[in-house]
Structure 1
Amino acid sequence: MKADSRIWLGAIVALALVYALGALVSVGEVSLTAWLGSWPPAVAAAAAAGSLLYAARRRAATTADSEANADGADGAAALRFLGLAALAWSAGAFVYAVTGLLSTTAAVSLSFGDLFSLVALPLFVLGFTRFAPLPRGFRPVIRHMTDSYVCAAALFSIVWLLLFAPLYSALGEDGEFLAFALVYPVADIVVLCLLAPLVFTSPHSTRRAVLLAIGAFVIICGADLIGAVTRLTGVLPAGGIEYPVRFLGFALLGSLPWLIRDRASARPRRITGRGLYRFAPEIAACGALFVAAVVLTIGALRVDNLAPVLPLAAGSAVIVLLVRMSGLLEENATLSRMVHTREQHFHELAKNSGDVILLLDFDARIFYVSPGAAEAFGYRLDDLLTEPVTAIVHPEDLPQVSAAMAAFDRSGGEGIHLRLRVRAGDGTWRHTESTASLYEQPGEPDRLLVTTRDISAQVALEDQVNHLTFHDGITGLPNRAYLEERAREVLVRRERGQYRGEIAAIFLDLDGFTAVNDSAGHTFGDYLLAQAGRRLRATTDSGFTLARWGGDEFAVLIEYSANAQQVVDFAERLVRAVSAEPFQVADREVVLSASAGVAFAESGMESGELLRNADMAMARAKENGGGGRLEIYAAHMHAKVVGRLELQTELRQALANGDFVLEYQPVVDLESSQVTAVEALVRWQRGDERVLPEGFIGPAEESGLITPLGEWILREACEKVALWRASDWDIALSVNLSVKQILAPRFVETVAGALADSGLPAEVLTMEVDEEVLLEDQGEAVERLAELRRLGVRLAIDDFGLGYASLAHLRELRVDTIKIDPSFIRDLGTDGTVTLLTHTIIRLGQDLGVQVVAEGIERSEQLEQLRSMGCGYGQGFLVARPMVAEGVEALVGGEAGIPL
């Protein structure tokens, strides 16, 4: 219970104590105390009725009871009936207060106010049973009623003997009025014994409400008991303590909805069905009967003449117990029939089940075996019953059987699952899956119930799946997963001292395999891989593990070797095996070579590190030209790779932190010296160092960071140039593209969005692409760039003239600008061939009607020659260096042109 609930209860108890002290002070004035004392309980009952009815209406309008209702409870209805009961108690108390019938001089007869109070009892029962439902079904209800009656009879016998028997003797001739005074105690005892057992079986979601309600009712019952004594004796016990007690009961009842509101959405816990919950009514009845028997026995020894009501209560309790016993006998007969029926069902199930069902003694002897065993394993039933089950279990699996037998004892044991190999009638071993559990039957020794299923087909399928999981489907060699697991196992064994010599890994890559796939198709490529796998397998010695790593890569794990030179010699032999003779693909011969990398396992090295080192050595061999080259792993290779990965991580963080800045290099009209455009160039502000693109564009491309970085460059540059154009600067923008940007999803939508967000006209933007970009994925790249042109964006080919089929690209993709590579400008005037080529490119651009921009102008003589050749535009350090936005603003805004 939470702190606010404890404070609430404390306030109620304190108020009742103050009320009780006030009653004790006025003990001398009995009539006045009785009359005045009845008003606070009446008010408390009325307040409780209002509180409960308001809470019922509020709860009915919400879903607070949704979880409790799932357990059979109905909180809103419970509060409503409890409120009506409190209202009836309030009406009765007000009648007493008005008529003064509770005075000590009142007759011991029932009055109009008593009728209200008696009506409150069934209403309280209805409300309580909405919180703690009665058992379901006719028989459970009858059993609950009889048990409650036994409890009530026993409890009344105790109260009679200890309290009312002396009063009955004192009344003498007026003893017949005792019946009127006992109406309240008897009714209260019946209701209390009816409801108290329900506390143990109530849902956990309403357990607090049930406890508070029964607690309030117990307090009210105590007040009724004190009131009955007052009626018979005409004396207020303890100065009228009845009224504070009744006030406390009504106050607690009225506080019930507010003390349980914090549990309205609590998740109800499940009652497991074990323990004393199932037998709460029976335990309560037996306990009450036992206490009553003890008290009655002691009382009978001390009292000469017992009142007739006591034998009546005891005799009726005995009759009810007999009825209860007959019900138990009938239930036992039903249970016996159920056991017999279930035994028949068991045999029918065992007979028709596809599984084999056995009953085993604890010495492994077969007591019963289902008829399906003959069909499943090819045995006759008589043959199985003559020997223990261990005789047909595989010797390697017998320890499992012994362990399973030891797990059970005579007192019980949980089920055990086993996978065993069992010999069939034809001598073959079948894989089986069995479940063993304890089988108990009255009058019989405990046995084991074993259900067995033949899973040989499933095991065969699992073996096939395992083979496919750890082997390559094209070459039939072990795959990457198998090699990794094998390398891990070998290195662990070496650490334990089980291996001596060198442990190494060799990675092999087929040079030129991609061209075969592209030209002949993947089917012929797979056929070539299968041939390569057979050649390498024929070259591999025993004790080596050859695997296909993936793609056109193969790997070999050398588990032991005398020295490192033998490993290198073997790697060279593998390389020669690939290029020794051509491969037959369809109707032609294909000559391939291989690049290889070797790495040796050092002490304490893990398998992943060994394989990674061999892979890096192979990559180094391909970088150095391939064609049969062999590289041995060195530490600097790893340092280079790690450094590149760290740089990629730094770049990602730099983009998130906004550490990239843009510089703009002007493009100038060589005739007028006017700035016509700017090319956006990205720089990385790495602390105090400003890093040029050459230092980070490569890692950004490898990591995929170039796509978000390129989008940022585009948006930042578009916004800046749009701002300049809004200041009446007629200036255009050029932005470089990479192949990953062009092929990225939604690339064209990204460009369109940047233009729309910045307000920059599409014809002002020029996207520059290298000729290499078009060679990466020519079809898709050309289509994406064509979509850009349809948006109105201009296209430029950067570094034109380096020899990547430029004329073919100019034919397939309409461009607006060609930018002459700086290498031509650098040798302009000093190399006649370069000068002629440069002049040819300029004339080609003029004939095609596209702009020609010369990049890398650094000397004045270069500028003069370009002017004389008719080159329209240029950029370079002589024209203007890359500068921040403020520099461009100062250059363009302060001068009419650049002096050239």
Structure 2
Amino acid sequence: MTRTDTRVWLGGILVLTLTYAAGTMVDVDGISLTTWLGSWPVAVASGMAAASLLYSARRRGVTATDADADVDGADTTGALRYLGFSALAWCAGAGISSVTGLLSASAALSLTFGDLFALVALPLFVLGFTRFAPFPTGVRPAVRHLTDSYVCAAALFAVVWVLVFAPLYSELEESAGLLGFALVYPVADIAVLCLLAPLVFTSPHSTRRAVLIAIGAFVIICGADFIGAVTRLLGTPLAGGIEYPVRLLGFALLGSLPWLIRERAGAEPRRITGRGLYRFAPEIAAAGALCVATVVLTIAALRIEGVAAVLPLASGSAVVVLVVRLVGLLEENATLTRMVHTRESHFHELARNSGDVILVLDYNGRVFYISPGAAETFGYRLDDILAEPVTSLIHPEDLPIVSETMAEFERGAREGSHLRVRIRAGDGTWRHIEATASVYEQPGEPARLLVTTRDISAQVALEDQVNHLTFHDGITGLPNRAYVEERAREVLTRRERAGAPPGEVAAIFLDLDGFTAVNDSAGHTFGDYLLAQAARRLRGTTGSGVTLARWGGDEFAVLIEESADPQQVVDQAERLSRVVSAEPFQVADREVVLTASSGVAFAEQGMDGGELLRNADMAMARAKEHGGAGRLEIYAAHMHARVVSRLELQTELRQALADREFVLEYQPVVDLASSRVTAVEALVRWQHDESLVPPAEFIGPAEESGLITPLGEWILREACEKVASWRVSEWDIGLSVNLSVKQILSPRFVETVAGVLAESGLPAEVLTMEVDEEVLLENPGEAVERLAQLRELGVRLAIDDFGMGYASLAHLRELRVDAIKIDPSFVRDLGNDGTVTLLTHTIIRLGQDLGMQVIAEGIEAPEQLEQLRSMGCGHGQGFLVARPMVASGVEALVGGEAGIPL
């Protein structure tokens, strides 16, 4: 039924009622005739209401249209059925009353057989109504509802008695005994109304409209019963028989209920907060009724001399019920108290057996409770902790954080807070703890804080160890390349923001002349020992404001963060060179004399840390080119001659790309457990003047010129087409291709990769793109975004040379990768250096824990292979496994079996 149909229906009911009222409100001689004239239309209306309700109940029972409403406890079909039966009982009562009203005038002042049917209709109506608005479940809620309804009914009846029936009681005099018959309808209606009205507030939202219509119809019928009771006492129809039009309106509204609720089941459900007034509807109704009754009775007591016996009976019984209700409340309060004590004992038991330390504090840090585990965890006696505020144990550097957190709780914060602070243990050491603080409330006591702490000193120590391994060199103990690059970037950025001149920042690079000969003659182990000795000497020469780091190989970098003038920087570089050559180094049973070539560069306006370090590296390379042997060079403009030569090389590379002088070689990647070739890594070579030029000589100039982008696209296209053709021959083999920064940041990079995959037919998940730390250090935001787009295509990502710098760990959380490739320097020293072996094992475990494929590069000896297998490394490549070879060599090596004997 639409909204317009609903309005037409209600309008028709109102017109019919007014027309009927006009016909009955005439001066009829005698109450019997009025009863007869008024009862039969009411009988017809109630009969039609019964038919409408029962028909709708039958129809809904067949079609099950109220299945959704039944979900929240309502039974629409049963409600309509019982309401139909109640309307049928009212119909029978009205019909019998229309007959008895003509036969006997005295029937108006007595209960008839028709009244019996009308009274039977009330419990039927209650049954139907409670199908729409279910009655409270459980003995305790039901008793509470009944007692509150009785108090409300008694108070309401007292008001009606004083205002209406008390004067009539005085006028009846000898016939006052007949008042009991006239009060049957009002008393029964008040009792039912007070029983059902609170259920309106707790009814399901799906039946809220039906509940409101039903209670509205019942209120109208109750009004008609009230008018009828007054009519019986007066012996004259009130307002010309207005009782019957009002009753007709009530039955018409009740009969229209099925049709008025067909538009929608009810209002949209609202979020239940647990603090709504509807939860206390019976109590509010009872309290309000008692207040009104008290006021009315007080006023009435001042005006009348005597009060009928029924009033003390109602008031006394209400007081008795209130006492019973109070006893129930006291019993509920005792139950709640027992629950609080039980939960408190559970809390203490949990705190006693928990591995964490649990405290209850006030906002000033004073301890009210601490779990027994604190003594074992931090080495204190409980009395010692309770004697002073807990803030006395917190590290001074962490106190501001703790104070701010407590201030937030004091300002009313309710959400829990997580902290990591240091506290002083009983032995005087500082322990790292992780704490969670939340509001702790108990009845009758001020709010406090519940703090749960856990000792994470071992975890912090492990994190510090991992950070040290990440940013420090395992051989010399000095900061590594990643650290000094990050430090240079921070220093220059800070000085630029502060407006300080950048020229006071400088970089020195040192290279140990002749170190390669030591490695070749004495071995890498003795070479590492020499590097450690050189690092100790250099460290003793540097002071504050200077960062000394191992750059890589036999190179060291020194970052001078603040200097008075350039001459001091040059003097510092000369001192570093002299300390290296001042005394021989003890290597095995002989002494080795080394010198150090150095290069110096000064920061300029707008220069970043990477450029400063590259300039110093270029100056050092210049010193090496001029013979080394302790030579020092300062970066200057004349060094650009080397850049010119690189430009010439870039021109040759551009022509080589046009003449297709580049070729690809493939180095197999082998499953170390099964010796099966699982993938190949594509490596580019330059066929120049009848010789193959290795990538180390032309990749750098290609990147500087931007030629790396078209060259990288050619490599990707050639490799994808070749591997795709192998896979057509049922070779289950993957492909790895290296990427540079400029490739990733070039326009349409992702579109190019997608196009190559589509043209070659190579599945995206077969292709692995390898990136090194440089990709993640230079413009990391855009690079990570581009690589993330590659992952969306299905392409796998791998970090090359893992473990050599800052990007290895710091960017793993930003860039999801599928594989990590251990740098060859780790594999080279396996078994010879305990630190390197431990670090390699840690990297393998890290990759396994993160669900990544781990590939070891540079496997050249069987001992290294066995070490990696014992550590659980899954894959590897190197000269021991297979050297890089052309495509035909791969085909001959694998032979379709994809296996290499190892």
Instruction: Measure the CA separation in 1 of the matches of 2:196 and 2:253.
Output: 20
2:221 aligned with 1:224: yes
**Correspondences of 1:568-579 after superposition (within 5 Å):** none
Measure how far apart 1:11 and its partner are. Answer: 5.2
Q: Aligned partners of 1:58 and 1:446: how far apart in 2?
A: 57
Match of 1:781 among 876, 887, 899: 887
1:492 alignment counterpart: 494
Counterpart in the other structure of 2:112: 109
Deviation at 1:27, TM superposition (A): 4.0
Residue among 112, 124, 128 paired with 2:132 = 128
Query: Secondary structure in 1 aligned to 2:249?
Result: helix
CA distance in 2, matches of 1:623, 1:45: 106
Q: How many residues align?
A: 671
Query: Which structure 2 residues correspond to residues 364-403 of structure 1 after superposition, within 5 A?
Result: 371-384=372-385, 389=390, 392-396=393-397
Alpha-carbon distance, 1:611 to partner: 4.4
Aligned residue identity for 1:610:
D
How far apart are the structure 2 equivalents of 1:445 and 1:753? 69
1:332-382 per-residue CA deviation (whole Å, 9 max, x = no partner) reads 444444555555556555555555555667776666655544434434455
Q: State the SS of the aligned residue for 1:463.
A: helix
Per the alignment, do residues 529 and 332 of structure 1 end up closer, same or farther by CA in structure 2, a change over 3 Å counting? same
Distance 1:163 1:611, change over 3 A: farther
**C-alpha separation in 2, matches of 1:102 and 1:710:** 106
Deviation at 1:215, TM superposition (A): 1.9
The separation in 2 between residues aligned to 1:18 and 1:620, in whole angstroms, is: 103
Residues 56 and 118 (structure 1), Cα distance of their counterparts in 2 relative to 1, 3 Å cut: same
Residues 477 and 546 in structure 1, CA contact (< 8 A), matched pair in contact too = yes
CA deviation after TM superposition for structure 1 residue 54, in Å: 5.2
Q: How far apart in 2 are the matches of 1:248 and 1:537?
A: 98
Which sits farther off after the overlay, 385-394 or 329-338? 385-394
- Structure 1 residues 293 and 61, CA gap change in structure 2 (3 angstroms): closer
After superposition, residues 296-445 of structure 1 pair within 5 angstroms as 296-341=297-342, 354-356=355-357, 371-384=372-385, 389=390, 392-396=393-397, 421-433=422-434
Residues 1:399 and 1:708: Cα distance change in structure 2 (over 3 Å): closer
CA deviation string 1:665-693 (max 9, x = no partner): xxxxxxxxxxxxxxxxxxxxxxxxxxxxx
Partner residue in 1 for 2:23: 26
- Tell me how far 1:282 sits from its aligned partner: 2.5
Equivalent-residue separation in structure 2 for 1:197 and 1:364 (angstroms): 48
Query: Given residue 214 of structure 2, which amino acid in structure 1 is its aligned partner?
Result: F
Structure 1 residue 544: Cα displacement:
4.1
SS in 2 for 1:26: helix
The one-letter code of the counterpart of 2:80 is G
Q: 1:143 and 2:148 equivalent?
A: no
Superposition map of 1:461-472 within 5 A? 461-468=462-469, 470-471=471-472
| Residue 154 of structure 1: how far off its partner (Å) | 2.0
- Do the aligned residues in 2 keep the contact of 1:548 with 1:554 (CA within 8 Å)? yes
Contact 1:379 1:425 in 2 (8 A): yes
Change (3 A) 1:617 1:697: closer
Q: Residue type matched to 1:140 in 2?
A: P
Give how far 1:225 is off.
1.6
Partner residue, 2:212: 215
- In 1, Cα distance between the equivalents of 2:574 and 2:100? 119
Q: Is the 8 A contact 1:365 1:387 kept in 2?
A: yes
How far residue 147 of structure 1 moved from its aligned partner, in angstroms, is: 1.9
Mapped to 1, the partners of 2:714 and 2:194 lie a distance apart of 77
Q: In the alignment, what sits opposite 1:256?
A: 261
CA deviations on 1:256-288 (whole Å, 9 max, x unpaired) are 35333674xx6x6242x3464554433332222
TM-score (norm 2): 0.56
State the Cα distance separating 1:497 from its structure 2 match.
4.5
The equivalent residue for 1:82 is 79
1:290 aligns with 2:291: yes
Q: Who is 1:672 aligned against?
A: none
Name the SS of the counterpart of 1:467 in structure 2: helix
SS state of the match for residue 427, structure 1?
coil
Does 472-481 or 325-334 show the bigger shift? 472-481
Segments of structure 1 that go 5 or more residues without pairing to the other structure are 641-695, 716-736, 755-774, 791-900
Please give the per-residue CA displacement for 1:705-756, whole angstroms capped at 9, x wherever unaligned. 87579999999xxxxxxxxxxxxxxxxxxxxx99999xx99999976899xx
**SS of the counterpart of 1:197?**
helix
Structure 2 counterpart of 1:684: none
| % identity of equivalent residues | 48
Partner residue of 1:240 out of 239, 245, 250: 245
**Residue of structure 2 in register with 1:281 after alignment:** 282
CA contact (8 A) 2:83 2:129 kept: no
Structure 2 spans left out of the alignment, 5+ residues = 27-33, 232-236, 645-704, 725-734, 740-752, 764-878, 897-902
Q: Report the secondary structure of 1:241's partner residue.
A: helix
Distance in structure 1 (CA, Å) of the matches to 2:286 and 2:330 = 18
Report the equivalent of 2:158: 157
Distance apart, 1:501 and its partner CA:
3.3
Q: Higher Cα Rg: structure 1 or 2?
A: 1
Paired amino acid for 1:134: P
What displacement does 1:530 show?
A: 8.7
More deviation in 697-706 or 329-338?
697-706
Secondary structure of the residue aligned to 1:298 is: helix
Amino acid in structure 2 at the alignment position of 1:242: R
* Structure 2 counterparts to residues 743-822 of structure 1, below 5 A: 778-779=884-885, 781-782=887-888
Any idea what the Cα deviations from partners look like across 1:166-194, whole Å, max 9, x if unmatched?
Answer: 56666777766666665555444434433
**SS of residue paired to 1:328:** helix
Shift in Å, 1:36: 3.7
SS at match of 1:331: helix
Following superposition, the deviation at residue 495 of structure 1 comes to 1.8
Contact 2:503 2:604 in 1 (8 A): no
2:608 corresponding residue in structure 1: 610
Shift of 1:87: 2.4
Residue 423 of structure 1 and its aligned partner are, at CA, apart by: 3.6
Indicate conservation of the 8 Å contact 1:350/1:357, yes or no.
yes
**How do 1:471-550 and structure 2 match up within 5 A?**
471=472, 476-478=477-479, 480=482, 483-484=485-486, 487-488=489-490, 490-497=492-499, 501-503=503-505, 543-545=545-547
Matched to 1:317, the amino acid is A
Q: What is the RMSD computed on CA atoms of the aligned residues? A: 6.6
User: Which letter maps to 2:322?
Assistant: L
Q: Is the 8 A contact 1:501 1:562 kept in 2?
A: no
Distance 1:578 1:779, change over 3 A: farther
CA displacement, residues 497-526 of structure 1 (integer Å, 9 cap, x when unaligned) = 467634467899999x99x99xx9999999
For 2:512 and 2:755, locate their aligned partners in 1 and report how far apart those are by CA, in whole Å: 35
Q: Alpha-carbon deviation of 1:492?
A: 2.6
Once residues 777 and 601 of structure 1 are traced to their aligned partners in structure 2, the CA distance between those partners, rounded to angstroms, is: 45
Specify the SS of the correspondent of 2:562: coil
* Compared CA separation, residues 407 and 431, structure 1 to 2 (3 A): same
2:822 matched residue in structure 1 = none
